Every structure is written in structure tokens, then in C-alpha cells.
Amino acid sequence: MATNAAARTMVNHQFRLAARPVGMVKRSDFSYVDEAVWEPKEGELLVKTIYISLDPAMRGWMNEGRSYVPGVAIGEVMRALALGKVLESKNAAFSAGDYVYGPFGVQEYPITNGQGITKVDPKIAPLPVYLGALGMPGMTAYFALLETGELKAGDVVVMSAAAGAVGSVAGQIAKIKGCSVVGIAGGPEKCRFVKEELGFDAAIDYKNEDVRKAIARHCPKGVDVYFDNVGGEILEGALANLALRGRVVLCGAISQYNTTAGIKGPSNYLSLLINRGTMRGMIVFDFAARYGEAAREMAGWIRAGKLKAKEHIVEGFEKFPETLAKLYKGENLGKLILKVGEE
């Protein structure tokens, strides 16, 4: 535990948004700032960041204007979910030594009033799991499939970004619920991971296969639920193979986030008409009141060995910009996390 005095001599490294990115995110979109570590005021707590979560949504937060949440302003600390340890608390709900999870931003010593911050228990699951399977990606997977996608046993599910943080969990949930699951991922290593480690029924390597034909081959009766994290040609391939009353869950469009060519809409969206299909967007925050319920069920699956949590951890605070770019280049296997401190 750092003492007050020690904390005052430490440096709060931060990445702040310096520019609206054009195309792929890059180091010059951020400024690296050293700030003093401030003393928490009454009601506040000082946290030492340990793990920073790297999420696809961050690219949208860097854009101008309002999406489902306001964008990050130029000069602001880059928004990020993170997990850390309380160093000093002037808030009765938290004590020094607590592990906490919340929107701390890309900085080493955040101060917060505790709003939107939850305590996590390292005895229930390793800390990184709280950023992945038991964090926002896991919650997204759970509610997107079970609520937005109206998943039912026997459904044929196609999972995009299947080796990613959300996809790897969602595909396993679909298996637990009695569905057959085809994962789409880039490259043989990810496809092997998806099939052999996660237990999906099949995997399609979008870098080396014709996705539309491969879905048709693996899903001869059509796709009941397509979980879209990517957009672009993979979305079109799934729409081309939609089953009658099939559902497309829109969770993201990572293939389109860093494009400068303008977003491409699915040219075969009329498959929704022909098949009486539904395409519906979901934002995980809408389910915040039910995170506890989902986390309890998923923690049970993890303990029972039915759900494997997989993290891809990169070490070093200063590597933040390049690590974020890895996400959009599809270089991660499982939940991508930046480790910036010791547990």
C-alpha cells in the first residue's frame, strides 16, 4: 500500500485524445501526459490501474459527435474501462486494497467518486476475467444472444470475430444453450482455437475462404442467429444464408471502424424481407441492471469448466496506442488487455 505521501510523489501517466483519427488509430492521435497524482477529496478514492481493457467501441468514442454516448473531447483522458486497486479511499463504500472495475480511462492513477465503479473479488475469478468473460464483453455476449437474438435450443448460430473477446464467449454460451455454432475468424491459428479450445462445431477462416459459400456449406438449413461484430462482407455472407425468421444481432462493425472509404451497407439487406428476418442493434449498457444476474450464471459456467475465459495480455502502459491498433487489425486471441501494474 502506498502512503499518502508516496502517492503524492508518483506520476499519473495518461494518454489523452490529441486528434480525431483518420483511418487506423495511431500514436499521434494521442498525447502522452505526465500529471501529478492528486489527493482524493471527501467521497473520492484514488486507484492504481492494473489492467486496461481494449474494446472495439473505443474507436467510435474517438470520433466527433454523439453516438450512443458522447465522444471523447480533444484533450480529455482517453476513455477506457479498467481494473485497479484502491490506494486511498475517502468514500465509505470502498477501502484501500479493494479491487475495482470502472471507466477509469487510460491513466495510471485515476480518482473517482465511486459512481459506476464495482468491486470485484479475485477469489471468484482471476482479475483479467473481470474485463473479459465477466466484464463488458461477456455481458455483451450474454444479452446480445439471449435477449436481442432471442436464442433458443437447436438454433444454428454464426459468430463473427469468434476468437475475440465477445465472440469467444458468445459462441460458448450458444453451445451451452444447445445450439450448433460456426465461428468466423481470421487465420488458421484463430480457427484452431475456436474449434479445438472453445468447442465450436466449425470455424471459417475469412482470410482464406469464401465466407458466403463456407456458411452455406456449414449451415445448409440457413442461419437462425448471426451475431455481427464486423459488418462488411461477412455480414453480407450471413444475410445471404439467413434462415426463415433468422435474426441478425448488430453489436459492432469492426471492419468498418477505421475505413476512410465510407461505411458500406449490406447490399443484400433485402434478404431480411424475403426471409422475414430481423436485424436489431444492441448496446450492452441497456442491460446494466441485470449484469449481476448474468455474471453469476457465467461465473458458474466458468467454475464448471463449461466456459473458458481467454485473455490476450500485453504489458506496458506506454504501448497503449499500438495495442489498441492490434484490436482493429485482428491480432488478438481472446480479450485484449493492457497490463500496467502489478496485482
Residues that bind a copy of itself (CB under 8 A): 67-68, 231, 236, 250-253, 256, 262-270, 272-283, 286
Nearer to a copy of itself, 38 or 68 (CB): 68
Based on CB atoms, which residue is closest to a copy of itself, 186 or 266?
266
Output the smallest distance, CB 148 to a copy of itself, in A: 8
Closer residue to a copy of itself (CB): 5 or 273: 273
CB of 40 to a copy of itself, least distance (A): 35
CB atoms closer than 10 angstroms to residue 268: 16
- Closest distance between a copy of itself and the C-beta of residue 231, in Å? 8
Report the alpha-carbon distance of residue 320 to residue 316 in Å, rounded.
8
Name the residue nearer to a copy of itself (CB basis): 31 or 278: 278
CB of 63 to a copy of itself, least distance (A): 12
DSSP secondary structure letter of residue 258:
T
Indicate the residue among 93 and 270 with the shorter CB distance to a copy of itself. 270
Q: Tell me the closest approach of the beta carbon of residue 273 to a copy of itself, in angstroms.
A: 3
CB of residue 105 to a copy of itself, shortest distance in Å? 22
45-53 and 335-339 as β-strands: parallel, antiparallel, unpaired? Answer: antiparallel
Q: How many CA atoms lie within 13 A of 165 on its CB side?
A: 29
Which residue lies nearer to a copy of itself by CB, 4 or 67? 67
Residues 36, 320 contacting (CB under 8 angstroms): no
DSSP type of residue 194: I
For residues 63 and 71, the answer to whether their CB atoms sit within 8 Å is yes
Whether residue 319 contacts residue 338, with contact meaning beta carbons closer than 8 Å, is answered with: yes
CB closer to a copy of itself, 62 vs 282 = 282
- 225 vs 251, beta carbon nearer a copy of itself: 251
Where are the strands (E) in 162-263, listed by range?
180-185, 202-205, 223-228, 242-250
Q: Minimum distance between the CB of residue 17 and a copy of itself, rounded to whole angstroms?
A: 20
Q: How many other C-beta atoms are found inside a 10 Å radius of the C-beta of residue 339?
A: 19
Query: In the chain, where do the E strands start and end?
Result: 11-17, 30-36, 45-53, 82-89, 99-102, 111-112, 118-120, 156-159, 180-185, 202-205, 223-228, 242-250, 278-281, 311-315, 335-339
Q: How far is the CB of 289 from a copy of itself (least distance, A)?
A: 15
Task: Find where cell 449481476 sits.
Answer: 292
CA–CA distances in Å: residue 22 to residues 26, 80, 260, 277, 331: 9, 20, 7, 34, 20
